[in-house]
């Protein structure tokens, strides 16, 4: 069934709706804790709602039990969300509807290029852009025609960003050959359906924002305000992620790691609150929260301290 995309009325009390949207590819690690904390504090400091979305659209990337583990860790760290958790895996009818709208506007084309045909191209060369493929066949992805013009946005934390999608990204995929809708489409639809006004997230998504803004504009959806927080690097200068074996964070270390996460965000708690119970630290942090103190580039020479050895 195809569902229509309707943006909810904004909560009149503050009008701020934020979110945290983890991919359940493994347990929550320190880097994602910092991202979760930043979006939580920014929402709460503005009397806003803070929603949770599990980005489980790409089934092969999801680890069994990881979603539940992430939710439990957030609870253990005192980061309580509002409303029901949204699962991308249950939203397909909305993505289908959005794709249909873009198709009706003539913005979508089918692409039969194989991986080997695209080898060596950083930007899609436009091979199928003008070919007439009327019906989506097997072995065919959906791409969107991007405009040859500058698209810019202001960021709450990082500098403004400008990009020409045609020259720097190319016609990007909305639905993959093997069926799943692409992240870019899903995130735009979910942000609209959840009425998100502020997206505070990791800087790994900073340069993808223009693609999302283009999709919002093409679908007549409101563009949220974006703020990207610097990524937490490990000692080797790599982003902490499951791929480079960032460790899961333990509940018993919550007060220590919460203090460290606040320090990474430039919101170091006063001496007497370091390692205090999480509720006390969070209460202080909501009051003291200041986006301008978030360092715009962050590299830590030492991995975070943990009492568990790997
Ligand atoms: Zn193609």
Give tens-digit pLDDT for 27-63.
998 889 999 999 999 999 999 999 999 999 988 889 9
Tokens read off for 249? 């964070």
**Ligand 1 centre and the CA of 110: distance in Å?**
7
**Ligand 1 centre and the CA of 140: distance in Å?**
8
Report residue 225: phi and psi, to 5°: -90, 135
Q: Which of these, 66, 39, 78, 32, lies nearest to 304 by C-alpha position? A: 32
CA-CA distance, 175 to 142, in Å (whole number)? 5
What rounded mean pLDDT belongs to the chain?
Answer: 88
| pLDDT value of position 61 | 87
Q: How is the chain split into domains, by residue range?
A: 17-91+186-293, 108-182
Domain 17-91+186-293 part of CATH 3.40.50.620: yes
pLDDT of 192 > 80? The answer is: yes
Q: Give the largest Cα separation in the chain, rounded.
A: 68
**Ligand 1 centre and the CA of 118: distance in Å?**
8
Taking residues 71-87, what's their average pLDDT?
A: 97
Q: What pLDDT digit, counting tens, does each position of 93-111 carry?
A: 999 999 999 999 999 999 9
Note the helical H segments in the chain: 30-45, 66-76, 92-104, 165-168, 183-193, 209-219, 254-264, 278-288
pLDDT of 161 > 70? The answer is: yes
Taking residues 208-220, what's their average pLDDT?
A: 97
Beta-bridge mates of residue 233: 239
Share of the chain above pLDDT 70, in %: 85
Tokens read off for 257? 């790691």
| pLDDT value of position 111 | 93
Residue 304's Cβ-count burial label (10 Å; 0-12, 13-18, 19+) is buried
**Ligand 1 centre and the CA of 117: distance in Å?**
8
Taking residues 130-140, what's their average pLDDT?
A: 73
Beta-bridge mates of residue 239: 233
Query: Distance from CA of residue 184 to its chain's centroid?
Result: 10
Domain 108-182 part of CATH 3.90.800.10: yes
Q: What pLDDT digit, counting tens, does each position of 193-210 carry?
A: 999 999 999 999 999 999
pLDDT of 90 > 60? The answer is: yes
| pLDDT value of position 2 | 56
**Ligand 1 centre and the CA of 60: distance in Å?**
24
| pLDDT value of position 304 | 42
Sequence-ordered list of residues with C-beta below 8 angstroms from that of 51, at least 6 positions apart, any chain: 17, 18, 19, 20, 81, 82, 83, 86, 194, 196
**Ligand 1 centre and the CA of 186: distance in Å?**
21
| pLDDT value of position 178 | 86
**Ligand 1 centre and the CA of 56: distance in Å?**
26
To 5 degrees, how large is the angle CA 204–CA 245–CA 52?
50
Taking residues 219-223, what's their average pLDDT?
A: 96
Taking CA atoms, 140 is separated from 96, 106, 143, 200, 201, in Å, by 16, 17, 10, 34, 32
pLDDT of 6 > 90? The answer is: no
Q: Which residues crowd ion ligand 1, with CB under 5 Å?
A: 111, 113, 127-128
pTM for this one?
Answer: 0.89
| pLDDT value of position 240 | 55
CB 215 within 8 A of CB 188: yes
Q: What pLDDT digit, counting tens, does each position of 247-302 carry?
A: 778 888 899 999 999 999 999 999 999 989 999 999 999 999 999 999 875 544 34
């Amino acid at each position: 069934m195809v569902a229509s995309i309707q943006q909810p009325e904004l909560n009149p009390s503050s009008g701020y709706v934020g979110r945290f949207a983890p991919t359940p590819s493994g347990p929550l690690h320190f880097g994602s804790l910092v991202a979760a904390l930043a979006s939580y504090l920014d929402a709460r400091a503005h009397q806003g709602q803070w929603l949770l979305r599990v980005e489980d659209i790409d089934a092969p990337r999801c680890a069994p039990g990881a979603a539940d583990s992430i939710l439990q860790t957030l609870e253990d760290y005192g980061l309580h969300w509002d409303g029901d958790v949204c699962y991308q895996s249950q939203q397909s009818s909305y993505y289908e509807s959005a794709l249909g709208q873009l198709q009706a506007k003539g913005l979508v084309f089918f692409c039969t290029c194989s991986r080997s045909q695209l080898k060596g191209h950083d930007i899609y060369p436009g091979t199928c852009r003008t070919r007439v493929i009327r019906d989506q066949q097997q072995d065919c992805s959906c791409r969107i025609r991007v405009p040859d013009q500058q698209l810019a946005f202001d960021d709450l934390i990082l500098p403004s960003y400008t990009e020409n999608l045609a020259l720097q990204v190319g016609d990007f995929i909305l639905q993959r050959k093997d069926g799943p809708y692409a992240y870019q489409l899903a995130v735009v639809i979910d942000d609209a359906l959840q009425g998100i006004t502020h997206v505070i997230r990791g800087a790994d998504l900073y340069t993808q924002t223009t693609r999302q803004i283009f999709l919002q504009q093409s679908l007549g959806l409101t563009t949220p305000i974006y703020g990207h927080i610097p990524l937490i690097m490990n000692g080797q200068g790599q982003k902490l992620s499951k791929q480079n074996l960032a460790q899961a964070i333990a509940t018993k270390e919550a007060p220590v790691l919460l203090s460290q996460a606040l320090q990474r965000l430039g919101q170091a708690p006063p001496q007497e609150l370091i390692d205090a119970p999480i509720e006390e630290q969070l209460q202080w942090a909501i009051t003291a929260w200041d986006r301008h103190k978030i360092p715009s580039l962050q590299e830590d020479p030492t991995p975070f301290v943990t009492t568990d050895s790997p």
